[in-house]
Structures are given as structure tokens and as C-alpha cells.
Structure 1
């Protein structure tokens, strides 16, 4: 990375992402076809420093906040949503590893000349059995976005010595000791390579294992749980929808309304109304995103979120993706049947948005129910909230 990137402001980092858009867009079809990021893209993201934008400066990163990461990944998604998704996940997980692991573990994975890339899955896909010097880990974790480009993996496990009340937590393992099953054959976000990572009798030393809440770092313990996971997914989805708006708006003077008396779409008040509606829905999504990210950036530094703010943050994220899906539907309607041609980048952005926005952490109906329950003083409908909240489920 250059000194300009390392000392730049949020606007500077967005400008870096914007400058990369033409090259990323040119490789978007290749990214989707190969179901992974092209090596040229990985190198450019590493050289730019964007993969490590959330890593503390003391460890070689840029130390930006969540709002900046969302803006950077949104800008990247305007060229290739799959690339933005991988950037978003690896940037977030690599930074989380610096807060969630013991100091000795952080020192080990950051011991190289350049910061590492860390992928991760918080679902409890494995078990960690106590052995001399650490743990023996076995398991399988699906949906491991970015695993094809990472050097380390942080995975959710159950720690057990045969007891029924095993604790949960994380282990960090080098990808060289893991295998990757090619399971990512999907309709959207194809280029993310979100395959299944498998561990078979991998030895993990205690410095790379964190039973929760026994030893988790205070900075991570203070962070809101589910709102942080759901909100960090929003940047690529916002950018994908913004790219659709840009494309559709740019074509209004060139396209006619077929079979109706409008030589240009821009002459139709119906079309312009739909365009304005889509733009406002995207703005709505950004406003909710800004609110939850501001809460996360503020509260992670000063103390835990209260229940109301945490549940509202989850509802913010879920409401944002609902607004984006509605905006995308309007824009595809304006673009018409030709938008579904494989050669049209609109259909890729639409498919990627649909796939990404249906992530389990962005479940709109149940997230809104959660917020309603908290407002009504009822019990939350998720184990991620309340006094027994856990990072892993």
C-alpha cells in the first residue's frame, strides 16, 4: 500500500475504490464465470490497502470506521458486487480477528511482512476437543466467503471435553491445514467463492482459541452482536442497487417505451415517477444504514448498546435491504425485458442483490418482529439479544 492510502481520509479511500471501477467492471463477467475473484483483482485490492482498511494502523492497516468501509464497498459494488462482497467480508473478519483473539494469537497471524487475510464463519460448524497444548478441531463451515483468497480462517465451534454444557467460541486456523469443498453453485453472488471449509483433526494452540465469554477481548465483548453482523453486509448491496440506478437513468434518452407513444423513456411521467421512487428507496436504505453504523462506531468504543438501540439496528439493516429490493424491482421494470439478457450487467447486479439481501442475518420480517417485541416489552425472538446473547448460534 502507498502512504497516500495509509494516511488518507474516508473520501480518499472511496476515491481509490472509484478509480478501480473500470478494471473491476471489465472482469465482472470473468469473476462470475470462475466463481472467485480474479488474481489481478486480489492483487489490486491488496496493493491498495482496502483489504485492511479496518485493521488498526499499529498492525499495518488503515484503521477506518464502519461508515467508511460501507462507502468503499458500495463504490466497489458499482463495478462488481461479488468483488465488493469478498472485500467487505475479508476486511471485516480480518479486523475482527485483531479484537477477538488473545494478543499472542494476533501477533502470530500478523507476523508476516504484510497483514494477512482472514475469512470466517460464526456458525457453530465444528467442535474443539481439549488435547495437550490446545484443541483438536473437526468441522465443516459453509458460506465461507473469501476462503479462496484467505490465509487464515476464524470459525465458530463448541468447546468440549465430553461435558454436556460445552461452551462456544472461535478458533483461528491457517488455511493451509484446511480443505475447501467446491459447493458454491448459485444464482447470485457467484464470484464470491463462498464454498465450504473443512477441518479434520487440526491442532489449534490455546493462543488461537477463544471460548466465549472466558477470554474474549473487551473491545469485541463491548461491540453489539447481531447489528454488527447484519449491518456490515449492507455496503455491497447498496452499491449494486446504485449501479442499477446509474445504468437505467443513463439510458432514458436512448430507449423508447415499446408499443406506447413515447419516443424516449424520459418523456414518460410514469417512468420518471418510478425512477424517482427507486432513488428515494435507495436514499432510505442509506439513511438507515448510516444510523446503525453510527451506533456501532460510537458504542463499540464507549460501551455496550442498550436493548432498544441494538434491536433498532437490526431492524435498520433489514428495512434497508427491503427498500433496496423494491428499488431494484422498479429499475428492472423500467429497463424492460432486455435487462434480463445475460450480456446486460443489470441482471447480474439484480441477481447479486437478491442473493446477498437474503442472507440469514437480514431476515426482514423477523427483524421487524424483534424490534416490535422490544418496543412492547416482550421477550426477544432471537438468542442474539438479551442477557445471554452470544456471538455464535
Structure 2
């Protein structure tokens, strides 16, 4: 970890312990496509799940900057672990939009509840006595195989006009999981498919997707619970990638140290290291911008731009690290090839693509309205 990346108190020592443990298990997790129970327990015990939970429920009410640095630190050891740690924190932030009774349902017995989220709308729900009847299939739900609760987004009939999109909180055991995740990278994230068949969801375990998008929280005044999704969406996914790229650099350095090297190799390593540092600075800037609580349309659009550009830099940096290491760095038993696959896979997420996450909003800020 670079000297200027010391963690704040809170997640500091815990994140480092998770990094060390996850690094030891990373090869096995990649082979089995599953995080070990020890690593899952470490994510929970470190405080990732409680990071954004309100203090009244025993949570940390932590900052975005602290979480971002902790996720990047874990990512240096195992990107899949960092991905799941990040999503467990942000999913709890989403769940803060539930009514007050829903907060009690999730965190009344304690704050260390692992929540997974299916962000992409699917399925449907219909009104029933005191709640909703929910059915559907949701793909790419990271961490669903060990989550205590999962948030899914579904359409409900509108009173007039088009359907409304709402999130529904489902406790583990009320839905099925199909093991469909077969990506070449980030194998251990367990981003499988959730299936619900007529699950009854009480009213207090649902909230409007519009509230999450706008950051309008009717039942919590905690600052981190009142941030628009536009400002923070990319940060959720790019922080693990930034950590993974730093891990790839460490792995490449381990391959090259002590060996004869060419001028070209030195240029590749130098450029790759600069790209990783530049991307990490952009990622950290996003987190600081949110914590400073002065979000404007311009700053939110910049956050989107920063996230996608950082992802692009990180993919290129790992490509250079691989090229510099040559065939000797791509042995199946070496970590570099795993970091390479993980960064490539993670950076393909829709939240890290220009056309879907940054182009329109930032171009409007930079260039104004179209003629």
C-alpha cells in the first residue's frame, strides 16, 4: 500500500487483516468460484456491512472516503473480496430508504447484516393485503449466496400511467439461488441469479426506486443516506478495481524484480504505475466530494466521469503490467493472471461505461444544451 494511502481509524486495521486473509484464499476462491467462510466472516467482522448503518442501530455512520480506502486496500489482496465488501456497505445504504419499521427488521438485532442488491429492474409485484406479492428472476446479484437479506427491484402497477419501480427487501430463505455466474474474472463474487416465486413482502420492506436515485430519504437524516445514486454509483464498483490494479502492479513487480529487463519493460512498468496512481486519485476525489456534502449537478457528473475514466486507466495499466512481465508472469499459479482477469471483468460493469454512466450528463455540464 502506498505511503499516502494510510487508512483512517475504524476500518484501518480490520481492512488490512481482511486483505491478508483474502490474499491467502484468493487462488482457491478463484478455482472454486466462492469466497471461503473465513473470508465472508472477516468481511462482516471488519465492519463493512455496518459502515453506513445508522448509529441508533449500532452502525458506524462512516464516511465514503474511509470506505473507499478500505475497499482499495482489500482489493490489493483479492478483488472479489473487495467487490463483495464494497457492495455489502453500499447495499445497506440503499436499504436505509426502507421505512423505519424496515430498519428495525434488518438491524434490530445488530448492525452486521450482509445485504446484497439486484440493481437491474426485473420481475413484478402486485398489491396484496398489507404488502406485495413478488415474483421474478434477477441476474448478477453479487454475494447473494451468503447475504442475510437481498434487495431486488421490480415493477408494480401504477395508479395511472406506466408502472412504478420499487425495491423489495427479502430475507434469506424466501428466495432461490441459481448458480449461473460463469465470468472469466471476479469468479468468487458469487454474482448468481435470484429467483422469487410469489414471495409476500410486507409494506415496510419496500421503497420507491426514485428515492434511491434522488437520494431523498424520508426515514433517515444520516448524511450518507441522502446522497443521489448518480454521485456514488460508479464509486461502488471502481474502488475494488483500483485496489485490484494496485495488486496487479505488486504481482508484476514480484515477477520482474532481480531479473534483467529492457528499456521497453521499464517504460511499461513506469507508465502502468502512474496510471494506477492517477486513477486512485480520481477515485478518492469522488469519495471526498460526496463527504463534503456540497453536491451539485456539475460535481455529480464529474464523479461519473471520474469513475469511468479511472476504470479505463486501470484496465490499461494492468495490460501494461502483463506485457512487461511477459510469459513468465502469466503462469496459472501466479496472481498476476488472476488480477488481469478480475480487472477486465469488473471494469465491464455497466456503471463503468461512458455511454451508460457518464457521457450524457458530463457533456451537458461541459458543453451545455444541444443546439
> TM-score by structure 2 length?
0.89
CA contact (8 A) 1:52 1:95 kept: no
CA 206–362 in structure 1, closer or farther in 2 if over 3 Å, else same: same
Aligned to 1:314: 304
Structure 1 stretch displaced more, 21-30 or 328-337: 21-30
The offset of 1:168, in angstroms, is: 1.4
Aligned to 1:18: 16
CA 178–343 in structure 1, closer or farther in 2 if over 3 Å, else same: same
> Is 1:358–2:356 an aligned residue pair?
no
Aligned to 2:60: 62
Q: Distance in 2 between matches of 1:213 and 1:189?
A: 30
Aligned to 1:110: 107
Superposition map of 1:375-386 within 5 A: 375-378=366-369
The offset of 1:62, in angstroms, is: 2.4
Aligned to 2:3: none
Aligned to 2:267: 273
Q: Secondary structure at the match of 1:138?
A: strand
| Structure number with larger C-alpha Rg | 1
**Which of the residues 136, 139, 143 maps onto 2:140?**
143
The offset of 1:348, in angstroms, is: 0.3
Q: Considering only aligned residues, what root-mean-square deviation do their CA atoms show, in Å?
A: 2.2
The offset of 1:56, in angstroms, is: 2.7
Q: Distance in 2 between matches of 1:82 and 1:280?
A: 24
The offset of 1:130, in angstroms, is: 0.6
CA contact (8 A) 2:35 2:81 kept: yes
Aligned to 2:82: 84
Q: Distance in 1 between matches of 2:280 and 2:332?
A: 29
Aligned to 1:226: 230
The one-character-per-residue Cα deviations of 1:324-370 (angstroms, maximum 9, x if unpaired) are 01111110011111322211110001100000011001003554532
The one-character-per-residue Cα deviations of 1:28-83 (angstroms, maximum 9, x if unpaired) are 12212222211111122222323322323332222221111111111111111111
Superposition map of 1:205-284 within 5 A: 205-213=202-210, 217-218=217-218, 222-255=226-259, 264-265=260-261, 268-284=262-278
CA contact (8 A) 2:18 2:39 kept: no
CA 327–212 in structure 1, closer or farther in 2 if over 3 Å, else same: closer
Q: Distance in 1 between matches of 2:115 and 2:208?
A: 19
The offset of 1:90, in angstroms, is: 1.0
Structure 1 stretch displaced more, 156-165 or 132-141: 156-165
Q: Distance in 2 between matches of 1:152 and 1:326?
A: 36
The offset of 1:162, in angstroms, is: 8.0
Aligned to 2:70: 72
Q: Distance in 2 between matches of 1:323 and 1:101?
A: 37
Q: Secondary structure at the match of 2:146?
A: coil
CA contact (8 A) 1:134 1:204 kept: yes
Aligned to 2:39: 41
Aligned to 1:131: 128
Superposition map of 1:323-338 within 5 A: 323-338=313-328
> Is 1:348–2:352 an aligned residue pair?
no
Q: Distance in 2 between matches of 1:80 and 1:213?
A: 34
The offset of 1:214, in angstroms, is: 7.6
The offset of 1:190, in angstroms, is: 0.3
CA contact (8 A) 1:14 1:75 kept: no
Structure 1 stretch displaced more, 316-325 or 123-132: 123-132
The offset of 1:22, in angstroms, is: 3.1
Structure 1 stretch displaced more, 308-317 or 353-362: 308-317
Aligned to 2:4: none
CA 298–85 in structure 1, closer or farther in 2 if over 3 Å, else same: same
CA 127–186 in structure 1, closer or farther in 2 if over 3 Å, else same: same
Q: Distance in 2 between matches of 1:209 and 1:114?
A: 19
For these two proteins, the number of residue pairs brought into alignment is 356
Structure 1 stretch displaced more, 43-52 or 233-242: 43-52
Aligned to 1:383: none
Gaps of 5+ in 2: 1-6
Structure 1 stretch displaced more, 33-42 or 101-110: 33-42
Aligned to 2:27: 29
CA 134–38 in structure 1, closer or farther in 2 if over 3 Å, else same: same
Q: Distance in 2 between matches of 1:69 and 1:203?
A: 34
> TM-score by structure 1 length?
0.84
